[in-house]
């Protein structure tokens, strides 16, 4: 297996530049991550994903954050469903299933095969500025299991891979890892009594786990964020909890919590050595060759295990259907009706903020 497959790279805009196309063709990354900056309309988005697939010799993962509410990258042309918080307040699993089903159908039509959702963080600090406002499926472990499980189940029926986040306990962060490294004073036993329960309960239905940029000093004494910590990824997630067949992703390595203490190449190497499979370079991806150089010395057994996990996930991917404006109109209608049923006739903006936050939460 080539270490190139460990990279999930961003794209600058709605059209590939000559430089981007040359880079992707040369590197053959494992996949790509799309943001609102890449999406103008549905047809353009599908053309972009078709071009990305055509550049790759191996079917790439094409990922996006479509959680609902304000974290809904396709907002320029598809109504956002109510946020996880708004949906879980209804207490209606049928409404959540409709959100997951419509999300899966939309992404499949757009040629996107990997949704970086659902959030499995318990909403311990609803008033904190930790980037999770409106994004959590519950304030208790059972509430998260019930609600996030339904959403994920229905998006996966469209063969869209789901990714649980932000392991092990993003809901404990008091500040925003986009800017600084949050510190959480909890040990493994404490986490297993609450925050880890949604992960273990939903394990059979999860394709991937995203690791948070939070530091747990009582678990990792070396000061490493969870996303770079072998104690947390290999020791806790894989060995103790048994997630030895799931894909493990870092959160974006360009975030402040990482960049303040590590360069991207070093962070990528540490993440893979810690037990991870894929590293996200969402913004400074044109420097990916430097990160790749840091991954070249990984031992063969590590790459062998990663290859097995990646290929297992790839077997769930399918060729997207032909693009259809009629299908898009039908999906948009379903999303509009869902908003009406949850938020009322004159739903207006989501209560948890605009469809897109100034900071691209993920």
Annotated catalytic residue within 65, 207, 220, 251: 251
The predicted structure's pLDDT at residue 359: 43
Listed in sequence order, the residues at least 6 apart from 335 whose beta carbon sits closer than 8 Å to its beta carbon are 78, 79, 80, 81, 102, 106
Supply the pTM of this predicted model: 0.94
355 part of a folded domain: no
Q: Which of 252 and 356 is assigned the larger pLDDT?
A: 252
The predicted structure's pLDDT at residue 347: 53
Annotated catalytic residue within 124, 178, 213, 215: 178
Please write the tens of the pLDDT for every residue from 224-264.
999 999 999 999 999 999 999 999 999 889 888 788 888 89
Please write the tens of the pLDDT for every residue from 28-55.
999 999 999 999 999 999 999 999 999 9
Instruction: Report the SS3 class of residue 75.
Output: coil
Instruction: Let me know if 251 is a catalytic residue.
Output: yes
174 part of a folded domain: yes
DSSP 214-255: -B-TTT-TT--BGGG-HIIIIIIIIIIT--SSSEEEEEETTS
128 part of a folded domain: yes
Read off the CATH number of the domain in which 248 is found. 3.20.20.300
Domain span including residue 202: 3-343
Q: Would you place residue 358 in the very low, low, confident or very high pLDDT band (cuts 50, 70, 90)?
A: very low
CA distance 153 to 136: 17
Q: Is the distance from CB of 331 to CB of 109 less than 8 angstroms?
A: yes
Compute the mean pLDDT over every residue in the chain, rounded to the nearest whole number. 93
141 part of a folded domain: yes
Overall average pLDDT of the 125-145 stretch: 91
353 part of a folded domain: no
Instruction: Let me know if 178 is a catalytic residue.
Output: yes
137 part of a folded domain: yes
Number of domains in the chain: 1
195 part of a folded domain: yes
Q: Would you place residue 111 in the very low, low, confident or very high pLDDT band (cuts 50, 70, 90)?
A: very high
Element (H, E) at 33: strand 31-33
């Amino acid at each position: 297996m080539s270490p190139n497959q460990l990279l999930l790279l961003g794209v600058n805009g709605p059209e590939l530049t000559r430089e981007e196309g040359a880079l992707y063709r040369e590197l053959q990354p494992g996949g790509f991550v799309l943001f609102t900056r890449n999406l103008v309309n549905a047809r353009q988005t599908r053309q972009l994903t078709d071009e990305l697939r055509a550049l790759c010799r191996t079917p790439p993962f094409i990922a996006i954050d479509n959680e609902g509410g304000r974290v809904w990258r396709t907002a320029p042309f598809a109504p956002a469903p109510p946020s996880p918080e708004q949906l879980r307040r209804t207490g209606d699993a049928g409404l959540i299933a409709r959100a997951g089903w419509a999300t899966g159908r939309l992404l499949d039509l757009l040629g996107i095969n990997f949704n970086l959702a659902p959030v499995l963080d318990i909403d311990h600090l609803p008033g904190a500025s930790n980037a999770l406002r409106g994004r959590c499926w519950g304030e208790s472990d059972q509430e998260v299991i019930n609600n996030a499980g339904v959403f994920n189940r229905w998006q996966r029926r469209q063969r869209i891979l789901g990714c649980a986040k932000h392991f092990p306990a993003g809901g404990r962060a008091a500040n925003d890892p986009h800017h600084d490294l949050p510190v959480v004073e909890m040990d493994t036993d404490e986490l297993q009594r609450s925050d880890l329960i949604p992960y273990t309960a939903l394990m059979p239905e999860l394709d991937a786990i995203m690791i948070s940029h939070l530091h747990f000093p009582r678990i990792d004494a070396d000061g490493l964020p969870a996303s770079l910590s072998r104690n947390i990824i290999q020791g806790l997630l894989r060995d103790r909890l048994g997630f030895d067949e799931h894909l493990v992703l870092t959160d974006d390595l360009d975030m402040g919590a990482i960049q303040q203490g590590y360069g991207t190449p070093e962070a990528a190497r540490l993440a893979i050595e810690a037990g991870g499979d894929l590293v996200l370079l969402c913004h400074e991806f044109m420097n990916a060759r430097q990160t790749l150089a840091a991954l070249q010395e990984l031992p063969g057994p590590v790459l062998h295990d990663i290859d097995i996990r990646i290929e297992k996930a790839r077997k769930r991917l399918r060729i997207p259907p032909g693009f259809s404006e009629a299908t898009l109109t039908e999906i948009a209608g379903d999303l509009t009706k869902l908003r009406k049923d949850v938020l009322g006739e004159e739903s207006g903006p989501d209560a948890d903020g605009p469809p897109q936050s100034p900071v691209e939460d993920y």
